[in-house]
Structure 1
């Protein structure tokens, strides 16, 4: 399974814990840790919540672009 390195980088850059991000997007810390490590796929609704929380595009989280914001 693919690792979601960008959600870890975004979290660390913001000096946040997995628990605080989990609470912000309404998922348990353990589940968030699984997402960061790639042990579980991030469901679309959680991807959208994380993108909103970090104020970046879903494409950025997925590594499809290096632009944090959608430029459309």
Structure 2
């Protein structure tokens, strides 16, 4: 198994974080300044966020960028 296979994808991590906060996709979309369908596309790994959106997501969820994009299992 490749080391990347054991880490969740960005989309999986985003979906998990959103659900832990009991947020609807439209609420998170408003918080970070994108459309609701874009959040779903992120969660399905069909689109990648801009750097600004990544930072907004990491700040909102209070996690590191590495954690958010699945490069680390350490949230901070």
Aligned counterparts of 1:62 and 1:37: Cα–Cα separation in 2? 13
Counterparts of residues 23-34 of structure 1 (less than 5 Å): 23-34=30-41
Q: Tell me how far 1:42 sits from its aligned partner.
A: 1.6
Cα distance change on mapping 1:58 and 1:3 into 2, 3 Å: closer
Aligned counterparts of 2:41 and 2:12: Cα–Cα separation in 1? 12
Aligned counterparts of 1:39 and 1:14: Cα–Cα separation in 2? 23
Unaligned runs of 5+ in 2: 1-8
Instruction: Pick one of 46, 51, 55 that aligns with 1:39.
Output: 46
Aligned counterparts of 1:67 and 1:16: Cα–Cα separation in 2? 22
Q: TM-score, normalised by structure 2?
A: 0.83
Helix, strand or coil: the match of 1:12? helix
RMSD across aligned C-alpha pairs, in angstroms? 1.2
Q: Which residue of 1 aligns with 2:69?
A: 62
Unaligned runs of 5+ in 1: none
